[in-house]
Structure 1
Amino acid sequence: MPLMIIIVATLGAGVGSVWVADLLTVRTRSAGHDDSDAQQRLLSLATGTLLATAFTHLLPEAFESKVDVQALFLTLLVGLVFFFLLSKVALRHREPHPVDHRHRGAGWPLLIGDGVHGFGDGVLIASALVADVRAGIVAAISVLVHEVPHHMGDLVVLREGGRRGPARLKVSMAGSITALGGVAGYFLASRLQTWQPFLVTLAGSSFIYVALSNLIPRLQQRQTSRETSAQMVWLLLGIALVALVGGIAHE
């Protein structure tokens, strides 16, 4: 897998998610509407893509290898625990997202947390691309989609605090740090081919963790039947997207 493709994919996922979030926040504010509906749709879509990628592609590919099944299950467990601890560390650099002016100092902690998370996203995208092009495409799309709601909240905080400079810096940093993680993941994966099943399992564990610990809890709200149906439609759309991308790449 050429390094340039990995750099382009990680830059696209890192910068793309921020620009999509920026467009959505500007659009909803200019229209005078709350962005909760758009966030709910994106969260549902991201949940479907992440779970489908993990359970229908990454984990099956890892378990088809000759590696001991118990070792892969242990890797899955260790990955879930690792990403739980990583999220705890990231939370120490972040503050809640109230939209008032009391958190003018939240800009840099948010940027630090995004940098740590973006580096991890880059490693995961690169590992998936080295393992399989289909997995890499889906990984980049999934990262882009599932980061949009998160970046929307961050951009609100940065702008409510009057920090236009950090908001611009966030766009540049998200792409550069994600690409840096992609380069690191490329060299790690290319030199450790025997560890490929473990890397794929680790990527799957990260997708499962994000979906179950971050996305689904944010979807578990008291809603009308129509809103719940919309959630299911977008979740199934995410699963269909994984199947479509996988089918096209396979051909």
Structure 2
Amino acid sequence: MTLLLWILLFCLLGGVLSVAAVGTFLLFSESLRTRLLPHLVSFATGALLGAAFLALLPHALEGPGIDDFHELMMAVLLGLLAFFILEKMVLWRHCHTDHCEAHAPHSGHGEGKAASLILIGDGLHNFVDGVLIAAAFMTDFHLGVVTSVAIAAHEIPQEVGDFAILLHSGFSRRKAFFFNLLSSFTTILGGLLAWFSLQNLEFALPYVLAVAASSFIYIAVADLIPGLHQRVDKKDTVYQVVLIVLGVVVIHFAHATVH
């Protein structure tokens, strides 16, 4: 199988199949979803941080033509700032609970606006995910697999939150699933664009990986962890720590195994 086909396959895994998994998840009772979702978020936090610090950044630092690590770290810093600005524009914010105050509609017009912003933000986010998956595969096949695993781990709780917002905005389950599925195809579009645009830009790949790492770090620290802090019970805290560590361990062994 050619590298392009692997990229498209894992873009499909990170996008379309995640939406399908969420569709199945929504068949569970609300009480079961409420219990399971925080655990998925905890695992996703560990997976994202593990992928950023154990896979993406080390490969970026080892990239061709990287003599000054300060430039690469500047790319990480600028990436964090860029994602902060995107979140301020309500294009990057993704909820990871069934009830999200960040996009909670307050009127009929607000509901339509919230749904539109979610779909736009989801499409943009999925597009960037596709670029990151392609860049990772073009750097190292094993890195592409690990990056895809981290993205898939994050996509499921993210899509559950998006579904909840669309349903709260008046969408039927079928309509919400269709539009989420539609937006997920931008992952494949991002992968294709990256494949054709980065083939002759090998020097740029380490910087793309640095931005990918900043994306993962920002999502974990600014979006996921604050939600985990809302649960202060000792038992919940133990579960969170265990699952975050599990997410890191899965990425570590996935990276070690595929090598």
Deviations 1:8-55 (A, max 9, x none): 1111111122222222222133xxx15333121111111111111111
**8 A Cα contact 2:45 2:220, kept in partner:** yes
Report the residue type matching 1:56 in the other structure. Answer: L
Deviation at 1:214?
0.8
TM-score (norm 2): 0.86
Query: Structure 1 residues 19, 247: CA separation in 2 closer, same or farther (over 3 Å shift)?
Result: same
- Per the alignment, residue 88 of structure 1 pairs with 88
Q: Distance in 2 between matches of 1:53 and 1:77?
A: 17
Q: What percent of counterpart residues are identical?
A: 35
Residues 97, 153 of structure 1: 8 Å contact kept: no
- Alignment equivalent of 2:125, drawn from 108, 112, 117: 117
SS of alignment partner, residue 191 of structure 1: coil
Q: Match of 2:27, SS?
A: helix
1:195 aligns with 2:204: yes
Following the alignment from structure 2 to structure 1, what is the Cα–Cα distance between the partners of residues 207 and 169? 42
RMSD: 2.4
Q: 1:83 to 1:152 in 2, by over 3 A?
A: same
Number of the residue aligned with 2:158: 150
* Distance across 2 between alignment mates of 1:204 and 1:120: 12
> Contact conserved, 1:125 with 1:140, CA < 8 A, in 2?
yes
CA distance in 2, matches of 1:57, 1:174: 27
Deviates more, 1:191-200 or 1:94-103: 94-103
What TM-score results when the alignment is normalised by the length of structure 1? Answer: 0.88
In the TM superposition, 1:38-187 aligns within 5 A as 38-65=36-63, 66-67=65-66, 68-91=68-91, 96-98=102-104, 104-105=111-112, 106-164=114-172, 165-187=174-196
Q: Given the alignment of the two structures, is residue 3 of structure 1 paired with residue 11 of structure 2, yes or no?
A: no
Alpha-carbon distance in 2 for matches of 1:86, 1:109: 12
Aligned partner of 2:20 in structure 1 is 19
Deviations 1:53-94, CA, capped at 9 Å, x for gaps: 111121122223441111111111111111222223344999
Cα distance change on mapping 1:79 and 1:97 into 2, 3 Å: closer
> Any conservation in 2 of the 1:41–1:234 contact (CA below 8 Å)?
yes
Determine which structure has the larger helix proportion and give its number: 1
